[in-house]
Structure 1
Amino acid sequence: MARRRHSNRRHRGGSFGFLYKVLSMLVICGAIVAALTLFFRVGTVVVTGQERYTAEEVREASGVAEGDNLILLNKHTVAHQLVEKLPYIEEVHPYRRLPDTLIIEVKECGEPLAVLQDGFAWLVSPGGKIVEQRSASQAGDYPVISGCQLLAPTVGTPMALATEYAAQQQSLLDLLDALEQAGMMDQVEGIRLDDLSVLVMEYGGRFTVEMPYGADYPRKLRALQSVIDKLETNQTGTVELTWDNGEVHFIEN
């Protein structure tokens, strides 16, 4: 009987000890959270990488205000809001610099191309995002994507071509990405999708470039550059990159 009472006392003592440890941990965690909430607040928002937008426009679109809790700030929400509200922004990398600074690094898209439709010029980034709507008369400074029709175009959304152009859409996006990665976008004057057998690009003020749909466009662009490097600066013509065996044909004008 004495042993049983002694065992019960030890059991109750162990239970109280465990409960004490749990409560102590909760108190400590609460104190840490309270300290973080009290002391680490946004005092400065630094914006880098922007060109089309001002730093103030980026700060406002981020939704972050002075005095917000820096530690509890949801960086994914900040990035989402910026990409949604400022269409030319392609990537956002927010990070904290304690005790009170939020740094927002942004990457804007490259120069857009225009799709003319219903009296408007819809500007499309090399990544395939509709970044702006202008009147058709304001499209003169942009390369034009022709021979297709946008489906329900809206600024800030990915470009989608009407169903009948579905086969061309992926090839167009792949070509734009390859041009951007190769640093060749600034030489593009237009892309035509009206011929279902071949994709046509006007390039460099001198060349009409023909490529198949669904091609390895990085490889095709390397072949194009190789041809251009061998030509005289006054030569113009058509570069045929449509051959399955990788041959390149240049037809001079």
Structure 2
Amino acid sequence: MQEVVKTSVKRKQNSKRQRRRRRNMSMYILLVLILVVGIGFALSMTMFFNIKSIRVTGDTAYTDQEVYAASGIQEGDNLMRLDTVSVSNSVLSKLLLAEDVYVKKHFPSTVEIIVKPCVPTACVAYEGGYLIVSAKGKILEKTSQPKEGLLIFKGYNPEFLEPGQMLTSTEDQKNAIYTTFLSNEYAADLTEVDMTDQYDIVVYYGDRIRFDIGNSNEISYKLRLAATAIPRLNDSKKYNLRMVGDNQISATQQEPAVTTAPENPTEPESTETTTTTAAPAA
């Protein structure tokens, strides 16, 4: 009986030793894995994945060398440690005509810099002339006259005037008005937007049609309404359009100006017609 008890005790002791060995082995394997990963990470940040090639793609006005210099990347820099956001911001700040810059890492040793050019989109008037602005609001240049084919904005009151800076108004509401016009498909036929009084906005379709749209509420709706009404007008005449209520436009035809003063001066004659137009489908 005593011998059976001793055998049972030995078995329990052996079982405990085996469990300890398994725990120790698991800890050992874990430590080895952590060590291997740490060494691999350290090597990848120093000896491995160093940049050997910088590739520039995209339709840009700049040479590859100019983009390299603006990026600040040097051959031999570590690809793992490269901050793509900082590189992108560096290129954007130094290359005036770059609208978007994307930086991609191609392991083991290549960086690709994708540059998308600015596209002149609008002329914004200021006291000294006009600012030529890109689609994303980057000021590209100052001019004394507006550029042909670009939508003109007056009364915007830009806060910054230097090329390379981002366009913003000293009046917050005018930023929203500007963005609404630029992004609206029905503004494609406009040539000028006057937001000097943001509660009495005036837009022009060439020199033939002036449209007083009022405040900035429902700009998109009002432009759709005008797009429906204008084709009904005589295209050889000039008109002043004005909103009447919520779904009507009043069209006033202006008579040609008198070139010689009559004996009894009177106000120029005009013919007014009111076009009632239901809201077009969105």
Q: TM-score, normalised by structure 1?
A: 0.71
Q: Deviations over 1:125-168 (max 9, x none)?
A: 444x341352x535465654323433354544443333xx4443
Contact 1:89–1:109 (Cα < 8 Å) also in 2 = no
Identity score, percent = 19
How far does residue 171 in structure 1 lie from its aligned partner after superposition?
Answer: 1.8
Q: Distance in 1 between matches of 2:249 and 2:190?
A: 19
Could you say which residue in structure 2 is the equivalent of 1:189?
Answer: 191
Matching residue within 204, 229, 236 for 1:202: 204
Q: Secondary structure at the match of 1:38?
A: coil
How far does residue 199 in structure 1 lie from its aligned partner after superposition?
Answer: 0.9
Amino acid in structure 2 at the alignment position of 1:23: V
Could you say which residue in structure 2 is the equivalent of 1:74?
Answer: 83
The answer as to 2:87 corresponding to 1:86 is: no
Matching residue within 232, 236, 239 for 2:238: 236
Question: Do the aligned partners of residues 201 and 35 (structure 1) sit closer, same or farther apart at CA in structure 2, a change above 3 Å counting?
Answer: same
Amino acid in structure 2 at the alignment position of 1:191: V
Matching residue within 155, 159, 168 for 1:147: 155
User: For structure 1, which runs of at least 5 residues remain unmatched after alignment?
Assistant: none
Question: Do the aligned partners of residues 60 and 16 (structure 1) sit closer, same or farther apart at CA in structure 2, a change above 3 Å counting?
Answer: same
User: For structure 2, which runs of at least 5 residues remain unmatched after alignment?
Assistant: 1-8, 255-282
Contact 1:79–1:92 (Cα < 8 Å) also in 2 = yes
The answer as to 2:34 corresponding to 1:22 is: no
Matching residue within 125, 130, 134 for 1:115: 125
Q: Distance in 2 between matches of 1:19 and 1:202?
A: 79
How far does residue 54 in structure 1 lie from its aligned partner after superposition?
Answer: 4.8
Contact 2:92–2:101 (Cα < 8 Å) also in 1 = yes
Q: Distance in 1 between matches of 2:125 and 2:205?
A: 17
Question: Do the aligned partners of residues 39 and 169 (structure 1) sit closer, same or farther apart at CA in structure 2, a change above 3 Å counting?
Answer: closer
Could you say which residue in structure 2 is the equivalent of 1:252?
Answer: 253
Question: Do the aligned partners of residues 183 and 201 (structure 1) sit closer, same or farther apart at CA in structure 2, a change above 3 Å counting?
Answer: closer
Q: TM-score, normalised by structure 2?
A: 0.65
Q: Distance in 1 between matches of 2:249 and 2:99?
A: 35
Question: Do the aligned partners of residues 199 and 77 (structure 1) sit closer, same or farther apart at CA in structure 2, a change above 3 Å counting?
Answer: same
Instruction: Choose 1 or 2 for highest CA Rg.
Output: 2
Contact 1:44–1:101 (Cα < 8 Å) also in 2 = yes
How far does residue 208 in structure 1 lie from its aligned partner after superposition?
Answer: 1.9
Q: Secondary structure at the match of 1:68?
A: coil
Contact 1:145–1:190 (Cα < 8 Å) also in 2 = yes
Contact 1:116–1:144 (Cα < 8 Å) also in 2 = no
Matching residue within 131, 137, 141 for 2:144: 137
Q: Distance in 1 between matches of 2:67 and 2:230?
A: 41
Amino acid in structure 2 at the alignment position of 1:246: N
Question: Do the aligned partners of residues 62 and 144 (structure 1) sit closer, same or farther apart at CA in structure 2, a change above 3 Å counting?
Answer: same
Q: Distance in 1 between matches of 2:207 and 2:35?
A: 70
